[in-house]
Structure 1
Amino acid sequence: MSQFTKEEQDKIFLALSKNFNIDINCIFYQLVRDTSSPTSYECFCIRGVNFNHVYFSSFNDIPLCFEECCFEFINFNIKEVKNVCFFRKCKLNTITALGVKFGHFFEISDCNIDKLNFYGHSEFYTYARIYSNKINEILLYYIKFHKVDFSKNIFLKPFTPHNVEFLDNVKFDFCSFQDQVSFYKVSFGKNVRFSDAYFNKKSIFSRAYFKKDVYFNNVKFLSGVNFKESSFFGKAYFSFANFGEVNFSKAIFYDIANFYNTIFSETPNFSQAIFKGNLNAVNTNLNFDFENLEKKINQECEEFNKKEQNKKSLDKFANDFRDSFRVFKNALIKDNNLLDASNFHKCELYCKEIELNSKKPKKFSKEWLDKYQLIFYKNLCDHHTDLILNLKWLIYVIALYILLLGKIFFIYPLCIVVLMVCKCCFKIKNVKVFVSLAIIFMSVCSEPKLIFGVSNLFLNNLNWWQNLVTAIYILTIGLILFSLQKTARKNSIVPS
Structure 2
Amino acid sequence: MQKLLESYGILVQENIKDTNIEINKNTITIHNSNISEIDLNILEQKQINKITITNCEIDYIYFANNNIELFFIDCIFKNQIIAISIIFNKEVIFSQCIFEKRIDFTYAIFNSYVNLTATMFKNEARFVMTLFLADQTTTTTRVIENNFSETVFKEKVSFNGAEFKAKVSFEMAQFESETSFTYVNFNHMVSFFRIIFKNIVLFQNTSFFDNTIIFSEAEFNNVKFISNKERDESSINGTTKQIYHFQNVTFKGTVNFENIHIKDLIFKNTVFNNIVVFGLIIFSLQKTARKNTIISN
Counterpart for residue 271 of structure 2: none
Change (3 A) 1:111 1:154: farther
1:101 aligns with 2:47: no
Q: Specify the code of the residue in structure 1 equivalent to 2:209.
A: S
CA offsets 1:229-274 (integer angstroms, 9 cap, x no match): 1110011111111112211122111111011222113323212322
Q: CA deviation at 1:182?
A: 1.4
Identity of aligned residues (%): 22
Q: Specify the code of the residue in structure 2 equivalent to 1:172.
A: F
Q: Specify the code of the residue in structure 2 equivalent to 1:263.
A: S
Question: Aligned to 2:69, what secondary structure does the other structure show?
Answer: strand
Q: CA deviation at 1:228?
A: 1.3
Counterpart for residue 242 of structure 1: 185
Which structure's residues are more often helix, by fraction? 1
Q: CA deviation at 1:208?
A: 0.8
Question: Aligned to 2:76, what secondary structure does the other structure show?
Answer: strand
Question: Aligned to 2:214, what secondary structure does the other structure show?
Answer: coil
1:114 aligns with 2:45: no
The partner residue of 2:58 within 113, 124, 127 is 124
Question: Aligned to 2:71, what secondary structure does the other structure show?
Answer: strand
Q: Matched residue pairs, number?
A: 245
Counterpart for residue 478 of structure 1: none
Counterpart for residue 348 of structure 1: 265
Change (3 A) 1:221 1:110: farther
Which stretches of structure 1, 4 residues or longer, exceed 6 Å deviation after superposition?
324-327
1:79 aligns with 2:79: no
Counterpart for residue 141 of structure 1: 73
The partner residue of 2:88 within 152, 155, 158 is 155
CA distance in 1, matches of 2:14, 2:250: 55
CA distance in 2, matches of 1:94, 1:177: 21
Q: Is the 8 A contact 1:76 1:98 kept in 2?
A: no
Counterpart for residue 233 of structure 1: 176
Q: Compute the TM-score of the two structures, normalised by the length of structure 2.
A: 0.67
Q: Specify the code of the residue in structure 2 equivalent to 1:332.
A: N
The partner residue of 1:223 within 138, 162, 166 is 166
Change (3 A) 1:58 1:119: closer
Counterpart for residue 268 of structure 1: 213
1:168 aligns with 2:101: yes
Q: Specify the code of the residue in structure 1 equivalent to 2:213.
A: P
Gapped regions of structure 2 (runs ≥ 5) = 17-24, 135-144, 232-236, 269-284, 292-297
Q: Compute the TM-score of the two structures, normalised by the length of structure 1.
A: 0.42
Question: Aligned to 1:140, what secondary structure does the other structure show?
Answer: strand
Counterpart for residue 121 of structure 2: 188
Q: Which has the higher contact order (CA 8 A, sep 6+)?
A: 2
CA offsets 1:90-125 (integer angstroms, 9 cap, x no match): xx954554433234x654448735334252322123
- What RMSD over aligned residues (CA atoms) do the two structures have, in Å? 3.9
1:374 aligns with 2:290: no
Q: Specify the code of the residue in structure 1 equivalent to 2:108.
A: C
Q: CA deviation at 1:158?
A: 2.3
Q: Is the 8 A contact 1:239 1:258 kept in 2?
A: yes
CA distance in 1, matches of 2:223, 2:198: 9
Structure of greater Rg? 1
CA distance in 1, matches of 2:102, 2:186: 25
